[in-house]
Structures are given as structure tokens and as C-alpha cells.
Amino acid sequence: MKDILIMILASFGAIFILSSSIGLLRKPDVYLRISVTAKASTLGIGLMLTSAALYFNDYSVTTRIVAIILFVFLTISIGGHLLARAAYFTKTPIWKGTKVDDLAGQYDEVTHELYSEKHNSSIKPEKDTSI
């Protein structure tokens, strides 16, 4: 029974990593590529490492794998966010099928500070966000 669970987790992990690779090739712009790669690969790596923890069934290996999973979850999500933000600041074109640009007119061009009504930021939105 344990072997079947390990096989299922590893197979689903491989499928998610494969879908991440396919999404990287098929998505039309950098923002969608970052999104699909970060989400699918994070889940795929988590499932693969979980299957490894079940396979080895050792406390020291399991604690290391849990630490690696937490590290991967944190770094991939933060890294994906920073890559998308850098792409937005360098004015990387958005796919023509994108309906709304929520950040249009919300950033100061010089300081890159985001306008926020909650914190009474001095930056005011300049234009309508619909494309």
C-alpha cells in the first residue's frame, strides 16, 4: 500500500513538473510564464519530495525534506513575484488578451512605490486601469 502511495505522489509530481515545462513553452507573455512555472513546479517538487520522504521512512531524511519543501515554497513564490515585478518595471509588454492591468498608473516611475489608499500614500493613480 505504501509503495502505491509513493508511486502516485511521484507520478503526480512528475505530471505537475511536466505541465510547468509545457506552460513555459506555450504561454504568450512573461507574466503568464512566471505564474504557471512558479505554481506548477512548486507543487510538483513538493509532491516528489513527499514521495521521497515516504520511501526512505527515516526521521533525519524526513526532517531534511520538510525543510527543503518549506524553503522551495518560500523561494519560488518570492522569486516569481520579484521576476514579475522587475518585468513590469522594465515595461515588458503584456499579452494582448489581457483585459485589465491592475497596476497601470499605480506606481511612481522614479521611486517605484505603489499607491495605497489604506496607508495614505502620496502617489495618486493617474489613469483608468482597463486596457
Which residues in the chain land under pLDDT 70?
A: 117-131
Q: What is the pLDDT of residue 118?
A: 64
Burial code (b: 16+ CB inside 10 Å, e: under 16) for 80-111 equals beebbeebbeeeeebeeeeeeeeebebbeeee
pLDDT of residue 11: 98
Hey, CA dihedral for 79, 81, 84, 85, is it positive or negative?
Answer: negative
Output the pLDDT for position 23: 92
Domain coordinates in residue numbering, the chain: 2-89, 99-131
Q: 522569486: which residue's cell?
A: 79
Fill in the amino acid letter for 28. Answer: P
**pLDDT tens sequence across 30-41:** 999 999 999 999
pLDDT value of position 100: 80
Q: How far, in Å, CA of 130 to CA of 89, rounded? A: 18
Residue 38 near residue 77, CB atoms below 8 Å: yes
